[in-house]
Amino acid sequence: MGDTSSLGFGHFLAESDPVIRTLLVILALMSAISWYLIIMKGISQVIRQRRSAAFLSHFWSATSLESVQNELNVHGVHEPFGHLTAHSLHAQAHHERFGAAKLEETGSQQEFLTRTIKKVLDEETTALENGLTMLATVGATAPFIGLFGTVWGVYHALVAIGSTGSGMLDKVAGPVGEALIMTGIGLAVALPAVMGYNWLTRSNRVLSAKLDAFAFELLTFLSMGRTLQANVGGGRRAAPVPAPGAASLTAVK
């Protein structure tokens, strides 16, 4: 197998067969994809949080839903809370103007609003989870791909040693140690993917919980049809009292 001083990653690549090289290419692609998803979704997460905070600050300081609608018309929708608000306001206005003109619009205005809000929540959840399946797949399969490469390398190393008739430790340890490189590469690919998946999943879960709570309050405001007035004495917004028959939080989720 050559001088043991020449053993290493370079020697391993030079002596590897097409199967090992194919596995290395697959692991390299998986690593590139996982890092791309982690970086891009991480940046999107930060931007989304800043835009959501800015919209919520404007929403809770607004004097009426009409001013919120004007803000959305001027600056557009760039985050989940604004997306939910814009669709809800549009659904309310559409139902007031046309009523139940189509099958998807049947029922009372509150029922139509509830269905619209649930649809938007499902869309936002799907958008947040986009790409996470790939990260989970990389984290779960990369170690096994590396392990397969190690088994394949050990098998061929032992076959080559057996054909030479030499069973000395220095002739066995080097090739077997080189084969373990594939396991190390598999773990190096999997660890960032698993950590990125857990971080993004938790961040999405927190955002989804805030969006669900906001959806309930928004539905309450739209159902009451009242102007959001500030509490002049305490300088804080008065707590809304749900109208009779207002949908519960479980109806929105």
30 contact partners, CB below 8 Å, separation of at least 6: 138, 141, 142, 145, 189, 193
Q: State residue 245's pLDDT score.
A: 38
Q: Where are the domains of the chain?
A: 4-229+238-252
| Residues 240, 220 contacting (CB under 8 angstroms) | yes
Number of Cα atoms under 13 Å in the Cβ half of residue 171? 12
Q: Running DSSP on this structure, what letter comes out for residue 240?
A: P
pLDDT in tens, 194-247: 999 999 999 999 999 999 999 988 888 887 754 444 333 334 444 443 433 343
Q: What is the pLDDT of residue 93?
A: 77
DSSP string for residues in 123-184: HHHHHHHTTHHHHHHHHHHHHHHHHHHHHHHHHHHHHHHHHHT---HHHHHHHHHHHTHHHH
- Integer Cα distance of 14 and 181 in angstroms: 14
d(CA 173, CA 179): 10
Between 139 and 103, residue with greater pLDDT: 139
- Which residues does 45 contact at the CB level (< 8 Å), separation at least 6? 200, 203
Which amino acid type is present at position 88? S
Quick check: 131 and 41 in contact, CB under 8 A? yes
For the stretch 120-167, pLDDT in tens is: 999 888 888 898 999 999 999 999 999 998 888 888 777 777 776 665
Residue 238: predicted pLDDT: 40
